[in-house]
Structure 1
Amino acid sequence: MYDRLILNATLVNEGQVQQADVAIQGERIAKIGADLSALAAKEVSDAQGLHLLPGMIDDQVHFREPGLTHKGDIATESAAAVAGGITTYMEMPNVDPLTINAQALEDKYTRATGRSRANFAFYLGASNDNLEEIKNLDPQAACGIKVFMGASTGNMLVDRPEILEGIFAHAPILVVTHCEDTPMIHANEEAARARFGEDVPFTEHPSIRSAEACYKSSSYAVALAQKHGTQLHVLHITSAQELALFQPGPMQGKQITAEACVHHLWFSEEDYPRLGAQIKCNPAVKRLADRDAILAAVNEGRIDVIATDHAPHTWEEKQGTYFKAPAGLPLVQHALPSLLDHYHAGRFSLETIVQKVCHNPAERYQVKDRGYLREGYFADLVLVDLNATSEVTPESLLYKCGWSPFTGHTFQSRIEATFVNGQPAYQQGQVAEAVYGQRLTFNR
């Protein structure tokens, strides 16, 4: 007898859309077939009219723990994630204390165990001082090495060329980069202060965090990777200019890959007058032409992965003036619905969405047995109704920060259920009290 049977679903997987049934035993997919209705199961769900996708793997989130938990924490933000169809996340190192050594990494795994509703892994952050930690990293201990090659906070801006050379030459696992050129940004900030004083309008953000500053840094990262043969993944591409650095086509075999984030695929400079600090993020939401170029790059394969860069701040913090309002916005609860709106608009196919948010992140990070609807793989699944709407209201938000730039928008699809390791982590509009998330393992 199987634990769970999902019947009559429309599966989106590995470039195909087809109706099939799925049997789950324990944590894994036991059987996928055209007609499994005769099988015995403890629980049977009729998914007629619903689409079944692998759970989204979000390779870039900031859940703010430890040290910044007034903004969010592993428990609250992972609850929002599963409500949005995200079953796995990879969390960033710029917390307090910084995740720049093996001890800090293991502390975060300890914090997540038994509290994270989605599966989890953490990055080791690079600094100017921890090259030996990077060289000695256990490949199973982190999903990747995060290098801030641009403006950041604390000790995480790596700006010494000899250290960058050492990281790219010796990294034992995937290097991922945030690329902005700090001196250019500082010069742009001073020019904005000279013009506006401290009351710089948020409409200036894409000029301050300019496309040129992004390109200078991302082209440097690509050159370093080419020089050293490094496996490189460049995060949150925001400008048309940068896209020329990356090759179109399928991700398989690429040494250098690129990611776009859902907010850079949605918002543009036209939204700053309405949303202001709510869409202030680094790198910046830029011109409409940049957004449209990134949308096109998803389809041609220059963008290999789509993620969130979920980065909550309190509403009070976001009310500051331009230089005081922090950069970042909460996104995990609405990332997949926003991509499905692009499907409804004819911009992306369902197969492309699944490729970019499920298959490719699993392959790029060498995640073991996740990211696909395959027999023997973990049953990380999301059921979506493409014909039911979902309105973003303040009452519907699960983020600890309590706000969203999407508030007031009605998405054209609805997340019906999310399964993590074979168990219902979210269904009928409710997050399960039980916690099913597990530490990721890697094929390394």
Structure 2
Amino acid sequence: MKTILIRNANIVNEGKINRGDVFIKEGMIFAIGSGLPDYEADSVIDADGKYLFPGLIDDQVHFREPGLTHKADIYTESKAAVAGGITSYMEMPNTQPQTVTLELLEEKYQIAADKSLANYSFFMGATNDNLAELLKVDPKTVCGIKVFQGSSTGNMLVDNPETLEGIFRECRLLIATHSENDNMIKENLERYQQEFGDDIPVAYHPKIRSAEACYDASKRVVDLARKHGTKLHVLHISTGKEVGLFDESLPLESKRITAEACIHHLWFSDEDYASKGNLIKWNPAVKTKSDRQQILEGVINGNIDVIATDHAPHTKDEKAQSYLKAPSGGPLVQHSLVALLEMYHEGKLSLEMIAQKTSHNVAILFEIEKRGFVRPGFYADLVLVDLDSPWTVSTDNIHYKCGWSPFEGQAFRSRVTHTIVSGHLAYENGTFHEERKGMRLNFERK
């Protein structure tokens, strides 16, 4: 592999910002310091005035392959991720076929080995009847088990209470949950169908997939995890009330129960349905400004441990349908870091906290081997950003296969200039270098 020397970067790492150089050799961070010798580097990047972050690790994406590749695929979405500074991702099992056996899981890993520009791992999906298969998963090579408590795209609902109990009792691998009470959602939907027929306004989405449905399901799995000592990670917290379910006092290394916030729940509110419509229809739903503020406070205070995207693209035509027919989800990986940096410019988040919540904490929580920090001996997963390089999201610069973004028309003040994946310069000022692919993530677990 080519050696790379990054000169004069503002390195954002482990709660500090220090100016220095980083030398990369054989895919790893070889040295960090001020005024490093040239080491006869194959390429030198002048990072004067720019900020170097550990590459983002997105613990929740839906790249739609296999079976749903008209929406997205591992190549296109990993490319968009790299353009956005995401160097590693963990992908969800609600594809076609659903990833609910070890054989199907390994088939996805092979696709990624051939096509993914970013590093990768894949969740094994839980169903009402595959507990025996879940127990075979190797915790050193697979990120976790995914449990859907609420039905969503590619319905994989685990709605048998005995099955859910068994999964939490028997599985020692991390369990990540989509937590919404499906029965409450069905009751709410029936009520609004009686009022509106099939022409329900999208603004009622957060009333149908209500705060109560989210809290009830999240509390249920938190209680189960406490009962059985399960390692639980609750995905995409969307309500202020849920934030209180998670302990802010413990260091992350000591937590058995953790939580994730997503970009869309930190950026949008229910007031945005009027202009964005189905483009911001997600499950769980974007809710009130108060919920958004409480989620942000949970991130800052430590109730919520990581920030991710829940990147879940659909085609424009699918999203243009009526509320009941339009699927939930939207593309976000290309714009997650610049959105967080916009929040930095607005005084909402520090640069150090962005690095902590998008990289350090994900690596700690999932026990990822040698990633998530700018440290000698760690893989060189790095992203360089210019905090003062304004640009506007448009169809011309969107890399998602679906060709649209809920951020279309949004002006951002910061720009990703370079992304290095496992020591390979994968993205440089709008140009992709695709001769090397990403690596499978490994986990330092017993």
One-letter amino acid matched to 1:303: I
Q: CA deviation at 1:390?
A: 2.3
SS at 2:253 equivalent: coil
Q: Cα deviation per residue 1:153-188 (whole Å; 9 max; x = unaligned)?
A: 556111111111111011131000000000100010
SS at 2:437 equivalent: coil
**Structure 1 CA distance, aligned partners of 2:96 and 2:54?**
33
Matching of residues 195-214 of structure 1 within 5 Å: 195-214=195-214
1:224 equivalent in structure 2: 224
Q: Cα deviation per residue 1:79-102 (whole Å; 9 max; x = unaligned)?
A: 000000000000000000000010
One-letter amino acid matched to 1:312: P
- 2:139 aligned with 1:117, yes or no? no
Contact 2:172 2:230 in 1 (8 A): no
**Structure 1 CA distance, aligned partners of 2:120 and 2:167?**
24
Q: CA deviation at 1:135?
A: 1.6
Contact 2:141 2:443 in 1 (8 A): no
Contact 1:93 1:125 in 2 (8 A): yes
Normalising to structure 2: TM-score of the pair? 0.98
1:96 equivalent in structure 2: 96
**Structure 2 CA distance, aligned partners of 1:42 and 1:68?**
40
2:237 equivalent in structure 1: 237
**Structure 2 CA distance, aligned partners of 1:59 and 1:30?**
26
1:145 equivalent in structure 2: 145
Q: Cα deviation per residue 1:319-353 (whole Å; 9 max; x = unaligned)?
A: 11111000000000000000001100000001111
Matching of residues 359-398 of structure 1 within 5 Å: 359-398=360-399
Structure 2 residue runs of 5 or longer lacking an equivalent are none
**Structure 1 CA distance, aligned partners of 2:347 and 2:429?**
28
1:272 equivalent in structure 2: 273
Matching of residues 1-12 of structure 1 within 5 Å: 3-12=3-12
**Structure 2 CA distance, aligned partners of 1:246 and 1:63?**
29
Contact 1:82 1:418 in 2 (8 A): yes
1:318 equivalent in structure 2: 319
**Structure 2 CA distance, aligned partners of 1:404 and 1:423?**
27
Structure 1 residue runs of 5 or longer lacking an equivalent are none
Name whichever of 424-433 and 402-411 sits farther off. Answer: 424-433
**Structure 2 CA distance, aligned partners of 1:90 and 1:142?**
9
SS at 1:306 equivalent: strand
Contact 2:2 2:424 in 1 (8 A): no
One-letter amino acid matched to 1:80: A
SS at 1:132 equivalent: helix
1:175 equivalent in structure 2: 175
2:252 equivalent in structure 1: 251
Closer, same or farther in 2 for the Cα pair 1:154/1:345, shift >3 Å?
A: closer
Matching of residues 17-56 of structure 1 within 5 Å: 17-56=17-56
One-letter amino acid matched to 2:221: A
Contact 2:95 2:154 in 1 (8 A): no
Closer, same or farther in 2 for the Cα pair 1:2/1:21, shift >3 Å?
A: farther
SS at 2:404 equivalent: coil
Contact 2:82 2:419 in 1 (8 A): yes
SS at 2:87 equivalent: strand
**Structure 2 CA distance, aligned partners of 1:60 and 1:2?**
31
The root-mean-square deviation of aligned C-alpha atoms, in Å, is 1.2
SS at 1:264 equivalent: helix
Contact 1:6 1:45 in 2 (8 A): yes
1:215 equivalent in structure 2: 215
**Structure 2 CA distance, aligned partners of 1:120 and 1:187?**
38
**Structure 1 CA distance, aligned partners of 2:69 and 2:89?**
18
SS at 2:264 equivalent: coil
1:437 equivalent in structure 2: 438
